[in-house]
Amino acid sequence: MIGSALAPFAALALLHGAMFAPNASAAAALYFEKAVVKTKSEATCMRFARDVARNQHFTNGHASGAEVAGEVGGAYVAITCVGRGAQPALAVVMSVAPDFAVARRVGQQVANGMKAIVCIDQPC
């Protein structure tokens, strides 16, 4: 159920990455990871994504209401968030690179960054 609900986000992020990543034609691997974050708020999750992008030094980055994206560690990464009502929000990290090992490493690094953020402001 959640996977099918995320399909439009994935297609949009992949299309966006294909249009704006400098070596999109060389990209051969796509890695996805879902990360449960420590907030129920989709907006706060997106704030977490901006924090992760800044802390991990994304380059050529941008942010919109739907995603935070940029290049880091040899991959193009897009992060989006899905609010789930009373359950914690879900961050979806998508990483595209010429090599799957790079896409996975960078995707996991970014997802771990999302999972590690603790909200100290209330409400979160």
User: Region 81-91: what's the mean pLDDT?
Assistant: 96
Query: Which domains does the chain possess?
Result: 2-116 (3.30.310.50)
**H helix and E strand count, the chain:** 3, 5
57 secondary structure, DSSP code: T
Contacts by 65-70, CB closer than 8 A, 24 or more apart: 66/9, 66/12, 67/9, 67/12, 67/13, 67/16, 69/13, 69/16, 69/17, 69/20
1 has a pLDDT exceeding 50: no
pLDDT of residue 64: 95
Instruction: State whether residue 32 is helix, strand or coil.
Output: strand
Model confidence pLDDT, tens digit, residues 63-78: 999 999 999 999 999 9
Distance between CA atoms of 89 and 87, rounded to whole angstroms? 6
Query: Kind of pairing, strands 59-63 and 29-36?
Result: unpaired
